[in-house]
Amino acid sequence: MYDIKRLLTLVLVGAVALATVWAGGAQESAKGSDGKTVLTLARFFGDCDETTAGVTDVSQATTECEVIQILTNKFNAENEYGITIQRLGGAEWGTYYDALNTSFAGGDPPDIAVMHGSNLPDYASRGLLQSLDGLYDDYGIDPDDWTGPAQDAVSYDGKYYGVAFDLHANLLHINVDLFQEAGLVDAEGRPVMPSSPEEFFKQAAIMKAKTGAWYFAMDASQFPVSVRLLLSLVAQQNSDLVSSDGTRATIDTPQARKALEFMVRMFDEGYANRNFNYTASQNAFLSGDAAILLNGTWAVDQYNREAKFQYQVVDFPTLYNQPAVWANSHLWVLPKKQNTRQEAAMHFLAFLNDHVYDWAAGTGHIAPRKSVLDSKRLRDVAPRANYAHTAEIASMVPAIQNWQAVEDILKEEIEATWLTGVSIDKALSNADSRVNGVLKR
């Protein structure tokens, strides 16, 4: 068993050390030795300095990290304003928000930060971010070009606080060979996706009988993929897990019960492996042992490169009343700080807004701008056209404070139904009660 106190201490020490690196960089970042304006940038997406040093051609990028770092290199090399963007230490999203919080507490946050749409309410509600209302026009940013979900992601309490960079959502990744072997294809040999829970289980039984493969694979025990699936299935029933005003839980409902019953059944009947974590589910898919993998936009290009079978990716199917799928967003914000360099920072945000095509084409994420989504240029990037509809059916994470705490509770309670045998009624009741406690803080 892990020593929890020691683990928490190590995480805290790591976050403080990381934030110290951030703070040190921020304090020295106003002007470079050549007199240029130097802005500090806090981001995750990994560390890829060795493969991107001196590179400004985004077409050479193969990962999220390489795309954003090469874009940063390109801005530094080409902008006419004498601005240099300096990335602060730290590359992993798992410790990112701890370090960001510590930098705010120390009074010296970065000039620019990446953020998930689900985290923005926590910071905007505490007055930690600059509102960008009234600034977009001056830098050629058109909020009306953002999709509805993207606008929602950068908004809080009627104000804009960021520049949308993408939508990322759940998709179905398909082993076409297994679907053909099972006969679950149309006349052209294309996989036929289920359109109801009944059809899902009918297909699952056929797949198991004819191929012996898992019909459905997902991370069922590590990251909150289970919460994302639950949210998708509940949204398809025109419901949600939190009330629209964010004041109460709506988890112990007929819609959530129906969704969770579906999830438990696929494990109980042997069509999905209840013990898979993220790596195991991905390995099962890439090794040809699973017909469908539930994972996100970020994995599309990896699977397209690595799959030894005929690979396809599609929108998450509609199993209930209406199309819907879990989605979140990456966006860029300007933390409030004493010596803000807002004009210089906005030039960089405008540059990133102008390059959302490069981000979408290079990562698999969905462009937040309608003009880019509708462009032939992006549709021609394989296999982006296969899941373009996801931009229209995206069901964003509830825009509430403390979503992370809510998500943690949901994950713990619903996964207990297939990991430790807790009843569905008890899991939903417990989750509802505990989440209400968080929302009343």
pLDDT digit string, tens, across residues 409-423: 999 999 999 999 999
Calpha distance 407→155 (Å, rounded): 20
Q: Is the dihedral of CA 30, 31, 36, 38 positive or negative?
A: negative
What does each C-alpha distance from 398 to 14, 145, 152, 247, 402 come to in angstroms? 30, 22, 10, 11, 10
Residue 2 confidence (pLDDT): 36
What does each C-alpha distance from 389 to 117, 119, 151, 384 come to in angstroms? 20, 25, 17, 10
β-strands 112-116, 83-87: how paired? unpaired
Residue 15 confidence (pLDDT): 47
Please give the single-letter amino acid code of residue 410. Answer: L
Decide: 32 and 38 in contact? Cβ < 8 Å.
yes
Residue 424 has pLDDT above 90, yes or no: yes
Cβ burial, residue 56 (10 Å; 0-12/13-18/19+): middle
What does each C-alpha distance from 419 to 273, 274, 410, 422, 432 come to in angstroms? 11, 7, 14, 8, 19
Calpha distance 203→194 (Å, rounded): 7
Report which of residues 33 and 304 the model is more confident about.
304
Residue 130 confidence (pLDDT): 96
**Rounded mean pLDDT of 155-184?**
97
Calpha distance 219→204 (Å, rounded): 18
Domain parsing of the chain, residue ranges: 4-167+329-388, 169-327+402-439
* Homologous superfamily (CATH) for 169-327+402-439: Periplasmic binding protein-like II (3.40.190.10)
Residue 201 confidence (pLDDT): 98
Percent of the chain with pLDDT over 90: 88
Residue 111 has pLDDT above 60, yes or no: yes
Residue 31 confidence (pLDDT): 55
Residue 89 confidence (pLDDT): 78
Calpha distance 198→261 (Å, rounded): 13
Residue 340 confidence (pLDDT): 72
Which two three-digit tokens encode residue 385?
């056209």
Residue 200 has pLDDT above 80, yes or no: yes
Average pLDDT taken over every residue of the chain = 92
- 379 Cβ contact list (under 8 Å, min separation 6): 385, 388
Residue 407 has pLDDT above 70, yes or no: yes
**Rounded mean pLDDT of 96-116?**
95
Residue 292 has pLDDT above 60, yes or no: yes
Residue 7 has pLDDT above 50, yes or no: no
Percent of the chain with pLDDT over 70: 92
Residue 34 confidence (pLDDT): 56
Calpha distance 439→441 (Å, rounded): 6
CATH code, 4-167+329-388: 3.40.190.10
Q: Angle between the 342-354 and 356-363 helix axes, to the nearest 10 degrees? A: 50
Calpha distance 212→208 (Å, rounded): 5
Calpha distance 328→100 (Å, rounded): 19
Helix (H) or strand (E) holding 4: helix 4-27
Residue 22 confidence (pLDDT): 59
Query: Per-residue confidence at 92, pLDDT binned at 50, 70, 90?
Result: confident
Please give, one letter per residue, the 3-state secondary structure of 355-408: CHHHHHHHHCCECCEHHHHCCHHHHCCCCHHHHCCHHHHEEECCCCCCHHHHHH
**Rounded mean pLDDT of 112-117?**
97
Residue 12 confidence (pLDDT): 47
Q: Got the DSSP string for 297-315?
A: GGGHHHHHHH-SS-EEEEE
Peptide bond into 383 cis (omega under 30): yes
| Digit-coded pLDDT (tens) for 119-151 | 999 999 999 999 999 999 999 999 999 999 999
Decide: 282 and 220 in contact? Cβ < 8 Å.
no
Query: Per-residue confidence at 338, pLDDT binned at 50, 70, 90?
Result: confident
Neighbour tally for 43: CB within 10 Å:
23
Residue 319 confidence (pLDDT): 98
**Rounded mean pLDDT of 352-365?**
97
Decide: 160 and 154 in contact? Cβ < 8 Å.
yes
**Rounded mean pLDDT of 152-176?**
97
Calpha distance 25→336 (Å, rounded): 17
Query: Per-residue confidence at 6, pLDDT binned at 50, 70, 90?
Result: very low
Distance from the first to the final alpha carbon of the chain: 32
- 112 Cβ contact list (under 8 Å, min separation 6): 39, 40, 41, 42, 85, 332, 333, 334, 335, 345, 348, 349
Calpha distance 154→120 (Å, rounded): 7
**Identical topology for domains 4-167+329-388 and 169-327+402-439:** yes
β-strands 168-175, 155-156: how paired? unpaired
Query: Per-residue confidence at 441, pLDDT binned at 50, 70, 90?
Result: confident
Decide: 160 and 143 in contact? Cβ < 8 Å.
yes
